[in-house]
Amino acid sequence: MAVPKKKVSGMKRGNRRSADALKTPTYVEDKDSGELRRPHHVDLKTGMYRGRQIMEPRDS
């Protein structure tokens, strides 16, 4: 039977359990196109971020 040699600190235990609280990613509806996108991310289809053209839009 495996027995721990030392007590696991609260920080180590909390870091191990931190993934238990992960939630599904949130999406918001884009004001211009009406499609779903991640908040605070560049829209890859149009290349827009916060109403400005940041990069070239993707063809696909």
What pLDDT score does 60 carry? 58
> What is the structure's pLDDT at 30?
85
pLDDT tens digits for range 18-50: 988 888 999 999 887 788 989 999 888 888 888
Predicted pLDDT at 31: 83
Q: Does 10 score more than 70 pLDDT?
A: yes
Write the DSSP assignment of 2-59 as a string of letters. Answer: ---SSPPPHHHHHHHHGGGG--PPP-EE-TTT--EE-TTS-BTTTTEETTEE-SPPP-
